Structure 1
Amino acid sequence: MVRRLAKEQVNQLPLYGGLKLSDIKIIETELDAYEAKSALESESHLGFDTESKPIFRRAESSPGPTLIQLATDSCGFLFPVKFAAALSAVRGILSNQAIQKVGFGLTGDSKELRKLNIDIVNTLDLSVKLKSLTSDKNPIGARAAVAMVLRERLGKGAQRSNWGQYPLQQHQILYAANDAHAAICVKQGLDRLLR
């Protein structure tokens, strides 16, 4: 039913369409936070991901995520944790038991979020779900999952960029929002396949 594609097969797939810049909201102010919470609290499932400032020295440790991303199937929300309003709003959403947060490799994200005093609840780790469905030995990340389920190629060009800088560049905004968006789309695709 679903199986991992070879790297060569993935490279032949069309690029993931995902969200456009006009579909993405960056949360900085109290008003932004209020509008984001209002929009997101009515959802039963949200795509989720985080980005952290890169660490270059061995003795250095991550202070936690610098950006937290949430997405519906039509809109992405980026929460830079440097803004108190953004951090407060996203903390409320991530700790909301009524909303399932869907992403990849959530164990690491959960550990990093605790550094910001955020406990994420009601999660679905698609890496674990896909691994059990395929009996694959290796973890299945976002790029592999998008190829397997959606038959598209998720670009990972901005993955290693400096997430500690602000404001974010356009390619970072698109990358971050679409990582969360891809998670919700893969979940919906899997739901259709497993019916």
Structure 2
Amino acid sequence: MIEPYAHTISKDEIAALEVEEFSGRIILITNESDCDKAVGYLQHFDMVGFDTETRPSFRKGQRYMISLMQISTEDACFLFRLNTIGIPPSLENFLKSEDILKIGLSLRDDFGAIRKRTTVTPMRFLDLQNYVGQFGIEEASLQKIYAILFGKKISKGQRLTNWDAEILTEPQQKYAALDAWACLKIYKKLNSVR
């Protein structure tokens, strides 16, 4: 039986919630050798959470390439600094692997950003925006879906920061890890009731 969830949640209801934090390990990937090791580790999982970050543009016509790709298990999140390493072959192979389910939100935007860096076609991805409706959830934002399911809020304070910065701050790293991890948690929660 499918557990009934709230259809929607208001901004005021979210504001009153406790802030969620990612408490797992965060591993920055800044070279191809570390990328190969990270992908080797991630290939042992059936499913992972997925997200990307791109430096925001505040000028008309100005666009930046994808800066960061986050891939998370339940207890560790790898932050691939694409602005410094691009998308190495091992990561391309991971993106097109049909062995691992990669769970994200608003994937069309992520795929568009990935296409600017590689010609690889991402395979076996699940977009939560297209998935949560069957559980009665009418919201499309990660923050609202997470709040409905877990009664906690995801802070968006770091969203518009410079993801191309030479050093990512701890708040940036935690924000980036949380989004990918939250996608995995949402999927697992929804499927534990089936």
Is contact 1:33-1:86 (8 Å) kept? Answer: no
Q: What does residue 177 of structure 2 align with?
A: 177
Paired residue secondary structure (1:66): strand
Paired residue secondary structure (2:174): helix
Paired residue secondary structure (2:152): coil
**Which consecutive residues of structure 1, in runs of 5 or more, have no partner in the other structure?**
none
Residues 135 and 144 of structure 1, relative CA distance in 2, 3 Å threshold: closer
Identity %: 25
Deviation at 1:84, TM superposition (A): 3.0
Is contact 1:146-1:154 (8 Å) kept? Answer: yes
Q: What does residue 2 of structure 1 align with?
A: 5
The normalised TM-score by structure 2 is: 0.89
User: Where in structure 2 are the equivalents of 1:62-141 lying within 5 Å?
Assistant: 62-63=64-65, 65-84=66-85, 87-117=88-118, 118-134=120-136, 136=138, 140-141=140-141
Q: What does residue 149 of structure 1 align with?
A: 149
Out of 68-77 and 112-121, give the one that drifted further: 112-121
Is contact 2:70-2:79 (8 Å) kept? Answer: yes
CA deviation vs aligned residue, 1:20-59 (integer Å, no higher than 9, x gap): 5xx0100113442232112100111110000001112212
Which runs of at least 4 in structure 1 moved beyond 6 Å after TM superposition? none
Q: Distance in 1 between matches of 2:155 and 2:137?
A: 25
Is contact 2:32-2:88 (8 Å) kept? Answer: no
Is contact 1:49-1:69 (8 Å) kept? Answer: yes
Q: Distance in 2 between matches of 1:107 and 1:169?
A: 27
Q: Distance in 1 between matches of 2:89 and 2:141?
A: 28
Q: Distance in 1 between matches of 2:60 and 2:129?
A: 28
Residues 42 and 81 of structure 1, relative CA distance in 2, 3 Å threshold: same
Q: What does residue 42 of structure 1 align with?
A: 44
CA deviation vs aligned residue, 1:137-156 (integer Å, no higher than 9, x gap): xx511101110112211111
Q: Distance in 1 between matches of 2:177 and 2:190?
A: 20
Is contact 1:49-1:103 (8 Å) kept? Answer: yes
1:33 aligned residue (32, 35, 54): 35
User: Where in structure 2 are the equivalents of 1:180-195 lying within 5 Å?
Assistant: 180-193=180-193, 195=194
2:160 is aligned with 1:160: yes
Letter in 2 for 1:40: L
**Which consecutive residues of structure 2, in runs of 5 or more, have no partner in the other structure?**
none
Is contact 2:36-2:91 (8 Å) kept? Answer: no
Out of 35-44 and 68-77, give the one that drifted further: 35-44
Question: How many residues of Structure 1 are paired with residues of Structure 2 in the alignment?
Answer: 189
CA deviation vs aligned residue, 1:113-172 (integer Å, no higher than 9, x gap): 111114211111111112343263xx5111011101122111111011111212111110
Is contact 2:5-2:137 (8 Å) kept? Answer: no
Is contact 1:13-1:153 (8 Å) kept? Answer: yes
Q: Distance in 2 between matches of 1:26 and 1:97?
A: 25
What is the alpha-carbon root mean square deviation over aligned residues? 1.8
The normalised TM-score by structure 1 is: 0.89
